Chain A
Amino acid sequence: MALGLEAKLGDNVLTTKLDAVVNWGRQYSLWPFIFGTACCAIEFMSAAASQHDISRWGAEVVRFSPRQADLLLVCGTISYKQAPILKRIYEQMAEPKWVVAMGACASSGGIYDNYCTVQGIDKIIPVDAYISGCPPRPEAVLDALMKIQDQIKGESLLVDRHKDFKGMLD
């Protein structure tokens, strides 16, 4: 997740300060891409609607273009037919990017242990946070969002994430 500056700065106090500023910005302006396929997408609709209001975490700008998003929220079952599309969308997103697997299906295949269902999206793309539930409550989506924010807080410009990930479609 480099900005290009670290080559000049190196690992010193300036980089650390820069990390803090950049991470602060990134934490509170996550733009989610909703990869909604099934029931969980309906619960995401609830998370976005007035009562739970995802904009309290600065993540209400839902983008359906992978180029404009930095948080991929996979809401629902991913079948083998869908898998290449998910991978492609993940690859189209610009760094830095984070992935949340929402619900049992995206996390592990859920109740669908059969010929057509991918047993968890981490077989295809790297995942940063998992949400349990079938489907999870909207509060759980917000909880995952906070977990991602916590994770962003500790990241550094000097470290590239997930460069060595190899999924089953790679």
Chain B
Amino acid sequence: MDATAIEIMKTAFPYGQFTEVLDTVVIDVPEDKLHGTLARLRNYPDLDFSLLLDVTAVDYLHYPGHTGDRFAVVYTLRNWKKNRLLQVKSRVADPVKGVVSATDLWPAANWAEREVFDQYGINFKRHPDLRRILNHWQFQGHPLRKDFDIENRQICLESDSLEGPIKERLAQNGVDESTIKDINTEVMFLNLGPSHPATHGAIRILTALDGETILANVNEIGYLHRGFEKTAEQRTYNQIVPLTDRLNYCSSMLNNIAYVKAVESWMGIEITERAQFMRVVLSEFYRIQDHLVCLAANLVDMGGLTNYWYLYNEKEASYDFISRLTGARLTSSFTRIGGMYRDFYEGWEVDMENQLKDIEKGISDCLALVLQNRIVHERTQNCCAFPGETALAYGFTGPCLRASGVPFDLRKDAPYYNYEAFDFNIPVGTNGDIYDRMMVRFEEMFESMKIIRQAMKMIPGGPVFIDNKRIALPSKNEVYGNIEALASHFKLIFDGIQVPKGEWYDSFEAANGELGFHFVSDGSGQPYKCKVRPPCFYKMGGFHEMVEGEMVADAILNLGSINIIGGELDR
């Protein structure tokens, strides 16, 4: 972060302790000053941290050398215009009393704090709706606490009715009890999901309808909560790579790369040039895959099944390339800390170029049906529009934020892997409606292809793995040939790569937006804590604002257009 910003903050928060970790500034503040600090950071025009990226907590129960309060909460903020990344951290003296909620500052904090409450049992005062979010309502205990047994399985006998939250939301929107009951204005409750073809996974959308217009909407997630973060605490760093495949399973490689990049940047590992270019090529290729599935499904929801074949068949064809490269179709697990699992195969350039040509054809075929299509226009334009300011306040990132006219993209604003060397544009929308979100995705695919073609020309030769015995596995010949290599192999497999003690946050522009990882390491081979900042989670948190006042059929299209992926949403 620039020195002026730090100066401003040091004057504004004399009680804070400032540290710099990677490109993040961390301010430790006392518990009673937390809300005040956050409010100034949000509202002070010089600081202008308009984007709340994530809220999480750390349980220091078993952390070596830790004294004092057991819990701490961490708010990760970003000033997207000036590329300032900030974490505000505060100790929590008593989790039952908790800290003051930041929901009044950023609506994004609503769901984020609910998750912290659910996973760590930390209370947030003045939070409007502090309920469990990932775990079911009959669940006892808080899974990410260090004294919670990972095998403490708890059966859920029936789903939550959500009657309370929907009535509350109706009241907030000015629909009172007598209107609900009156025969002329009677409200109909319609439940969509969690097993519904249009929910693209397992999400429950409960709406209160007046005719077909949505008066109020509440959503429930967590149906695909698979305990990623708790499981990751029991694995070595490299063993987590396959788990990351299953976050956003439409673009598994992007998660693989984001994850290892986060660990590498903390360890100060500079991967080889060739590996960097490989990662760029593959990231962009997977970004296209992700957008293809999203648009294909979105157009099916609209009734345009032909587009599904045009777009999805290209994805299916891309699996040939992907499985030749990685050995798997969907779950690639292709990165390792320090490089790539292996190099491209001989002749990959030809395959890739053919693949890109086919994708271009598929997209043009689809666009020929969509671009001038009046039905598509009328169903999507000015529908579920979300202005840029609101989108930021809800923590939107990625294509959905850009569709609302905010040109924030980490590849431009905080470039990594030589992205500054590539010539590409960031497509932005104007209204933030469904049409913009779809078109931004279409355009991004063309931009990604541009990047791939440039990277293919520039990619240098050389190894794809760094030469460091503490990180890279020795070759099999050496393992079978000499004792040092055998011992090193054994240590790397059983103990894992030793990551220095500390806490850090690192982010990556995934297909859906900013995919961040917040790690706490105790110096061992397994992370003490590994929190994912999933882009989907925050988009779903703003869903009710987008659809209220719209038709129920538009809500379906809207859900498709924000591309919710259950694995990433619920982890």
Contacts and interface: CB of A to CB of B under 8 A. Distances in A.
A117 interface: yes
B197 interface: yes
A8 B352 CA distance: 66
A50 interface: yes
A127 interface: no
Interface stretch (B86-94, B152-160, B178-186): B152-160
Contact of A38 (B151, B201, B227, B293): B201
Contacts of A77: 224, 226
Contacts of A147: none
Given A81-B136, A85-B194, A115 B330 contact: no
A21 interface: no
Interface stretch (B279-287, B311-319, B354-362, B495-503): B311-319
B566 A115 contact: no
Instruction: Determine the main DSSP class of B at the interface with A.
Output: loop
Contact of B243 (A84, A86, A111, A135): A111
A79 B330 CA distance: 21
A39 interface: yes
A89 B195 contact: yes
Interface string A115-131: 11100000000000000
B159 A85 contact: yes
A37 B135 contact: no
Contacts of A34: 197
Nearest to B297: A45
B152 A64 contact: no
B143 interface: yes
Interface in A136-170: 137, 168-169
A110 to B, nearest CB: 9
Interface residues of A, number: 39
Nearest to A43: B330
A39 B202 CA distance: 12
A42 B330 contact: yes
A42 B230 contact: no
A106 to B, nearest CB: 12
B422 interface: no
Contacts of A116: 134-135, 143, 153, 225-227
A95 to B, nearest CB: 20
Given A42-B250, A112-B231, A84 B226 contact: no
A82 B151 contact: no
Given A116-B225, A135-B331, A168-B155, A85 B312 contact: no
A49 B148 CA distance: 43
Nearest to A36: B201
A80 B202 CA distance: 13
Interface in A22-64: 34-39, 41-43, 45-46, 49-51, 64
Interface in A71-125: 76-77, 79-86, 89, 105, 111-117
Instruction: Determine the main DSSP class of A at the interface with B.
Output: loop
Nearest to B249: A39
A50 B157 contact: no
B316 A79 contact: no
Contacts of B224: 37-38, 76-77, 79, 82
Given A39-B249, A80-B136, A82-B202, A115 B154 contact: yes
A134 interface: yes
Interface string B133-168: 011100000010000111111111111000000000
B362 to A, nearest CB: 12
B144 to A, nearest CB: 10
Contacts, number: 127
B249 A38 contact: yes
A112 B226 contact: yes
Contacts of A113: 150-151, 231
A81 B225 contact: yes
B151 A115 contact: yes
Contacts of B151: 113-115
Contacts of B316: 46, 49-51
Contacts of A134: 331
A111 B202 CA distance: 19
B391 to A, nearest CB: 27
B309 A115 contact: no
A39, A42, A45, A89 interface centre (most CB from chain B within 10 Å): A39
Contacts of A38: 201, 224, 226, 246, 249, 566-567
Given A83-B155, A111-B242, A50 B194 contact: no
Given A89-B195, A112-B231, A114-B227, A80 B567 contact: no
Contacts of A50: 309, 313, 316
Contact of A117 (B152, B226, B308, B566): B226
A81 B533 CA distance: 22
Contacts of B450: none
Nearest to A123: B155
B196 interface: yes
B223 interface: yes
Nearest to B198: A64
A170 B223 CA distance: 20
Contacts of A35: 195
A137 B329 contact: yes
B527 interface: no
27 contacts: A36-B201, A37-B202, A37-B566, A38-B226, A38-B566, A41-B201, A46-B316, A51-B316, A76-B224, A77-B224, A80-B136, A80-B153, A81-B135, A81-B136, A81-B225, A82-B194, A82-B223, A82-B224, A83-B155, A84-B157, A84-B159, A85-B159, A111-B242, A114-B227, A115-B149, A116-B225, A117-B226
Interface of B: 134-136, 143, 148-159, 194-197, 201-202, 222-227, 230-231, 242-243, 245-246, 249-250, 293, 308-309, 312-313, 316, 319, 329-331, 566-567
Given A46-B329, A113-B150, 6 more contacts: A76-B566, A79-B226, A81-B159, A112-B231, A116-B143, A137-B329
The 8 closest A-B pairs by CB, nearest first: A114-B227, A39-B249, A81-B136, A64-B197, A112-B226, A37-B202, A82-B223, A80-B156
